[in-house]
Structure 1
């Protein structure tokens, strides 16, 4: 069982692959598409949940997603057909960091995918290149809510406290016009869903050759979250407009 298969199972009960509840997702998408007829691009869209929800909310909106995973894009297509929005969704199998867009977009989304670009700053620079005049960027990334241990940094990467994170975004030429800091409840709900969905699949399929690996992955992830990450990791989504 590879990393992608594990992630797919782990997100069964929390298809938004980030620690936000449905209300927060809807509010951010509403703020990012004020006219309702925007063209939206998701860089690193995975199974396309942000796009699918935007399309379902806004009947005049058109959306495009970019991801390297053929299976994730196939899931997105299937869900789009089930929702009846597939005629307004275009999906590209490509590296998000190297994607050449056919046109500009009113909203560029990249939530939980900054690793594909090498960090938050590089993600915003890539998003700027796809943005139409007057457009917005919705980006989501981690920050340190407490003092991280060396193990936490090694596990999750280099982050900064929230004020420093936002100031770096501002210094890079962006103005936040909305945002959402994930609550402790959202963070916990996401992690319990991640580990619980994966563990449940393993317990429900004891004869599957990958069940043991899945249960081990769920157990290891839960231990790392509770022991290393829970007290120091935060997550923020920022809705941004170019300052200049």
Structure 2
């Protein structure tokens, strides 16, 4: 079996587990928030991972928290990809004298440490879902726009694009019909990277307690469970493993997409 096939099978298996986690609330054996025992109770019958700091079933809480953990990063990535794709197409199609100043502004966003940029945006916009989405967009729009713009410039000099222009197609029509389909794989692959980064950013914000408006997530469960690790380590290990599975699955998917785009 070739290494490429191994990666595909591994990706399929990990993605299956990740999808199971996304659909997890339907698999939970207990309602969200139900207290079933003492805080940080060790695993036992009916409690495969024990209880958390409030005496709730850790296994069920991990399943219920999957939606908030993945949903907000997915929304943020969708907004980011939409904004950066449009901006990149425009930036890659305008003359250099116009593109250079805009690219310089984007470079400022790229060189600022992402966590610093995210914390500044969240502090200004609030820790709700809107603030977190805005933080992810601002932290990623610089690099993704530059990638899309570079791909656009490369495709814009191709023969089929010149032919379309020769037939009188408008600039917008050329971008949508001739350029966008040919950079789609690159955009999709880079979008996967942005999704991985978004999951990490939202998890970091949740762990730091500055994204309280996004609801409970695996990151908040890790933070709350840390005080009782000596009593029930699974209160932290459970959400940690779930987060790791999703991140690894997404990373494998990105690797496959980048292979396809290459």
Bin of the TM-score, shorter chain as denominator length: under 0.3
Q: TM-score, normalised by structure 2?
A: 0.24
**Higher helix share goes to which structure?**
2
Q: TM-score, normalised by structure 1?
A: 0.25
**Higher strand share goes to which structure?**
1
Instruction: Give the greater-gyration-radius structure (CA).
Output: 2
